[in-house]
Structure 1
């Protein structure tokens, strides 16, 4: 059973994007439509009585905003020029106060949209289309990294919660069952938090999802390190923890790259025990790292046992000792065991000491 509550999927049904399709082959049609709308606003303002001038001026604002969102720089400039000419023509039949207020407002709006367009020019797509592409990419990679269904007797659930409720998180989880008898999962924390780390996280997630299960467990972290080193990002480091579990025997191995240690709940004694001996170097800092630089430790999940992976945002908080954060998390984990594990990952994630100020991620694997 899988309960994945991380960054719940959002339907990409956007009426505005449907109404104005800004794909490259339709932008000329959209440009023509906006110019025609500008001309109609001008004619209406001239033909109708003076009080209708306010409506005519106001109708130019959505034309400007639509051009800024959906058109290329050249097409946007053309629409802006037509709107300014219409606004100046309307000012001939209106009073000076109305002209100064509305024309000035239009100029401010156009300037802001042009500044935004200057920043997005490297991407080569309009703002609305770029946002849609980014969201679509996030959803595709989220689905690609969805945890697989495990056989009867096993359960895994994850929760990823971004800082300040953002849609993008520097923490992510990927899982795979390369064979019916083996389950692999990795929890990764990319440097930064929230939207600042979100773009790097999207790229890294796709790469790590491809590596997971394609290599022997002891080669995953070295390969992930090589990938990050090749990117050459100024802040391209990450921490990660990787677990490989035999779904027949319950035997597991865990390796870490600068990440907080996993904890193993032993049903026999009712205690959570840190999984020691897995402290490897950060990913993306040193090149040429081999399996020996990412030591692994082994254990066994008996019936009733559980393995908990988490990111540092769950236990860390400025000015508070990290051991206090760990004890607090394990207290919530104890209550989760007592009340039932379903939904426990989300509850533990939400109880983080850092609250909404940091990215948090939790993976809970249990054997029934």
Structure 2
């Protein structure tokens, strides 16, 4: 009789060396300090090297690797040497001695005992990549990443201000496209890195960075100073570089982070941080994608900063040309608002003014000088002061515009201006209105209804006197108790390609729906139409309310 068959012991030790050799998996050890890169026999076979051909250094591998693959391997190993990563994993191409190409997978892990060593394996991956679904998935991922990059670059191309750039980068779509849990952006500002936008978890030390100088050792500060990105694929690797941040890191769920400098024309202008949860590696393709993206972000951000600065200068000049204070009225109140153009950096010629007249009367005016440049703004300032002087001298409404037109015509600049002017006796409500080619005023009655005053219109100011023999005819209107008179410029109603009547109807609707208090009503009209319109032109409005 034969005895029972012996059952294999599942706890018996595996012959690991035999398994590795049978699957043509080679082993390597890299000693950064000594410069040695040791390969076993199987590893040499994977690289198609004979023992006598190999000198035991990374440079010895160059004969089997194209230049771009040498650079890929160098970056991966340097990240480990610099403490930015604990591991490396990549597919690289090997050029065999017969001229054929072989795909090889290289994977390594840092070991600290206590010096740094990298232990890893290499294997022939040609068949794997040629026939596995992973290669197709990788190609799909790469195409999706490229599509996401194109979408973000297109969105950045339309950004007109730093606020717009921040909105593109910190939106939910950007977080989805980049696969990041958190995104934050900072700009260099007088020796500091000023955080201007963030979504999701902030980078480590972000709160402290709001008060820190650019010379302080924070991750984003460091990449700004060095101009080189930093990738971290573990908290341990991050803490070896920034041990003082251990307490902050302990509360974070991040597993990887990318700190990217934003450099435009060779000058660092900011930095961006991407925080990931669950990610463990950055492939060379990932790094190339992010580097390409940061270049586009830097160009867009630099353009936006310059536009913001120019717009701030333009708005300051425009504001200086407008009246600094309005007269205090007995029997009425005034409110004015001005909005600069969001498109471009032109200085506009829109203006408004109000002057107290005798016997509880007030003169109010609004106008628009032709052009969008510094000359238009300068002419606007001169014209406004001249009209104030004519009104203060006691001239009639029609005479004020006639004299202002002659004044503008005598200036050396070949410009004209539209203008709407009214003299209002607040005690009786009697109002004299004259129009020099401007848009018609609106009146909101005490009951909330809105009336458009279609006035006889004279020529714009500054045109030759013999062009308009009729001068500027005055219309008389009574402003009732509780009524509000609205003057405005075309930037508040006009939209490219749209009929003007639609813009006027929209303004009347917004005016009717506004709150009762005059300052709140002015804000309502400006802000509501400012959101709806493209804001390609500056806009001004003036409200006069009879108590």
TM-score (norm 1): 0.57
- Structure 2 residue aligned with 1:221: 401
C-alpha spacing 1:181/1:231, structure 2 compared with 1 (3 Å): same
Contact 2:323 2:353 in 1 (8 A): no
Are residue 275 (structure 1) and residue 441 (structure 2) matched?
A: no
Are residue 163 (structure 1) and residue 337 (structure 2) matched?
A: no
C-alpha spacing 1:143/1:260, structure 2 compared with 1 (3 Å): closer
Total equivalences in the alignment: 233
Contact 1:240 1:256 in 2 (8 A): yes
Larger Rg over CA atoms? 2
C-alpha spacing 1:198/1:345, structure 2 compared with 1 (3 Å): same
In structure 1, distance between residues paired with 2:381 and 2:508: 30
Kindly report the root-mean-square deviation, in angstroms, between the aligned alpha carbons of the 2 structures. 3.0
In structure 2, distance between residues paired with 1:194 and 1:348: 26
C-alpha spacing 1:161/1:366, structure 2 compared with 1 (3 Å): same
- Equivalent position to 1:245, from 424, 427, 436: 424
CA shift for structure 1 position 135 = 9.6
C-alpha spacing 1:355/1:196, structure 2 compared with 1 (3 Å): farther
Residue by residue, what CA displacement relative to the aligned partner does 1:114-165 show, whole Å, maximum 9, x if unpaired?
A: xxxxxxxxxxxxxxxxxxxx99986665346x321111x4111111222238
- Structure 2 residue aligned with 1:127: none
| Partner SS, residue 155 of structure 1 | strand
Are residue 198 (structure 1) and residue 198 (structure 2) matched?
A: no
Are residue 344 (structure 1) and residue 524 (structure 2) matched?
A: no
In structure 2, distance between residues paired with 1:135 and 1:287: 33
- Structure 1 residue aligned with 2:473: 295
Structure number with greater CO (CA < 8 Å, separation at least 6) is 1
In structure 2, distance between residues paired with 1:340 and 1:359: 24
Q: Which structure has more helix as a fraction of its residues?
A: 1
Structure 2 unmatched ranges of 5 or more: 1-265, 267-313
Are residue 320 (structure 1) and residue 498 (structure 2) matched?
A: yes
C-alpha spacing 1:278/1:346, structure 2 compared with 1 (3 Å): farther
- Structure 1 residue aligned with 2:282: none
Q: Which structure has more strand as a fraction of its residues?
A: 2
- Structure 1 residue aligned with 2:545: 366
- Structure 1 residue aligned with 2:389: 210
| Partner SS, residue 443 of structure 2 | strand
CA shift for structure 1 position 237 = 0.3
Contact 1:164 1:194 in 2 (8 A): no
TM-score (norm 2): 0.39
Residue by residue, what CA displacement relative to the aligned partner does 1:277-303 show, whole Å, maximum 9, x if unpaired?
A: 331111111225789421121111111
Structure 1 unmatched ranges of 5 or more: 1-100, 102-133
In structure 1, distance between residues paired with 2:350 and 2:479: 25
